[in-house]
Amino acid sequence: MLAEARARDAADPLRDYRARFDLPQGVIYLDGNSLGALPKATAGRMAQVIRGEWGEGLIRSWNSADWIGMPQRVGGKIAPLIGAAPDEVIACDSTSVNLFKLIAAALRMQPGRKVVLSEPGNFPTDLYMIAGLEAQGLAERRLVPRERIAGALDGDVALLLLTHVHYKTGAVFDMAALTRAAHEAGALVLWDLSHSAGAIPVDLNGCGADFAVGCGYKYLNGGPGAPAFAYAARRHHEALEQPLTGWMGHAAPFAFSDDYAPAAGVDRLLTGTPPILGLAALEVGIELAAEIGIERLAAKSRALSEFFRTCLDRAGVELDLVSPADPEQRGSQLSFRHPEAYAICQALIARGVIGDFRDPDILRLGFAPAYVSFEDVAQAAQHLAEVLKTGEWQREEFRERAAVT
């Protein structure tokens, strides 16, 4: 398979982008869906922001380096990757905090309705944020398995909150169909794009979506704890009232008024002072994704994961695939169920193949299309085949659970 992989790499239109990332020698990185790799340009840009803009410019840089405009500027660069207009996206806070703001804002727009509908097994923070609002008497959480979601959209549902690409299985929801169904039932929709942005095409405006959030540190390669993003369709801007009414979301923050008045547009989603270093790193990652283009990223992502399955087949490995077999129906990952998934994952990491484990029995491998090569994929499949055949995962050292998996 190695020869075939090398031929595919040679013909890959994205082959030169791998060199734009700092990847350690001897590592095959299949976890860009949890923490994206480091773009080479990030260190230089960070040095410039730290030494020049912070060290030299000091507080003047809020104006001279336009720090104050960074949430809007960076958000605007994310917009084309998710089918939004630049003035509909803002980079700020964490995905969790943005979920809280937008769930609460959506509930305020739906008097007489309290139900937030989602699915069991959605990413925990999404479910916990609904529960947090429920504890305050503001929401009522309703969880329904994905096959029955459309049928559960009744007149009590204020908001449908779904993760577009499921973090564990990689299964993709039909955004257009579910957004339509929600609107027909009088509900609003909030999409969590954490595992979509920078990996597969998303058309928020084409689908008529109301709200969206997503992470900056996965396929956007913004670095650990990078700022997240929030999207609100333009038609909702005027009515949008979010609960974290901090001064940066004020119409005139530097008027220092005692009374809150929301800024126009998505700016009102801001809360406190923007994290400039994090935004600067995120901007580099987004510019790289934008330069490659989402269609090319998605095409390579599908080709990589399909090639991985072919390699496993040819190596005679039979694993229980929990991701959809159709690459159009999944994000940029393949997840396999195995009772010893944790130990297998650790054995792979010991061989330099970094994927991850999701409790209780999922081995999850992400194929970040900007920097994973076909050769990586062939070698990773070979390692997995060997780990399974030799039973190497049974070693005691691979069973000890780390704090972060």
Ligand X SMILES: Nc1c(O)cccc1C(=O)C[C@H](N)C(=O)O
Nearest to 221 by CA among 282, 299, 301: 282
Nearest to 36 by CA among 354, 359, 403, 347: 354
Active site residues: 123, 192, 217-218, 364
Nearer residue to ligand PLP within complex by CB, 33 or 382: 33
- The contact pattern for ligand X, residues 160-199, with x = CB under 6 A and - = no contact, is -------x--------------------------------
* Least distance to ligand X, CB of residue 253, Å: 29
Q: Could you tell me whether strands 115-118 and 157-163 are parallel, antiparallel, or unpaired per DSSP bridges?
A: parallel
Q: Is the dihedral of CA 227, 233, 237, 241 positive or negative?
A: negative
Is 96 a binding residue for ligand PLP by CB under 6 A? The answer is yes
* Least distance to ligand PLP, CB of residue 99, Å: 7
Tell me if 352 sits within 8 A of 379, measured CB to CB: no
- DSSP letters, 175-225, are HHHHHHHHHHTT-EEEEE-TTTTTTS---HHHHT--EEEE-SSSTT---TT
Nearer residue to ligand PLP within complex by CB, 52 or 124: 124
Residues 194-213 that bind ligand PLP (CB under 6 A): 194-195
Calculate the alpha carbon distances from 15 to 93, 244, 247, 297 in Å: 33, 44, 45, 11
Distance from C-alpha of 364 to C-alpha of 341, rounded to nearest angstrom? 9
Residue 12 touches which member of ligand PLP, ligand X, none, C-beta under 5-8 Å by kind: none
Rule CB under 6 A: choose which of 1, 28, 34, 343 binds ligand X: 34
Tell me if 323 sits within 8 A of 170, measured CB to CB: yes
Is 332 a binding residue for ligand PLP by CB under 6 A? The answer is no
Q: Residue 96, annotated ligand binder?
A: yes
Buried b / exposed e over 244-271, threshold 16 CB at 10 Å, is: beebbbbeebeeeeeeeebbebbbbbbb
Residues 131-170 that bind ligand PLP (CB under 6 A): 163, 167
Is 229 a binding residue for ligand X by CB under 6 A? The answer is no
Number of residues that bind ligand PLP (CB under 6 A): 13
Residue 302 touches which member of ligand PLP, ligand X, none, C-beta under 5-8 Å by kind: none
Using CB under 6 A as the criterion, which residues of the chain lie in contact with ligand X when the complex forms? 34, 167, 404
Which residues bind to ligand PLP, rule: CB under 6 A? Answer: 94-96, 123, 125-126, 163, 167, 192, 194-195, 215, 228
Binding residues for pyridoxal 5'-phosphate, as ranges, are 95-96, 123-126, 163, 192, 195, 217, 247, 273
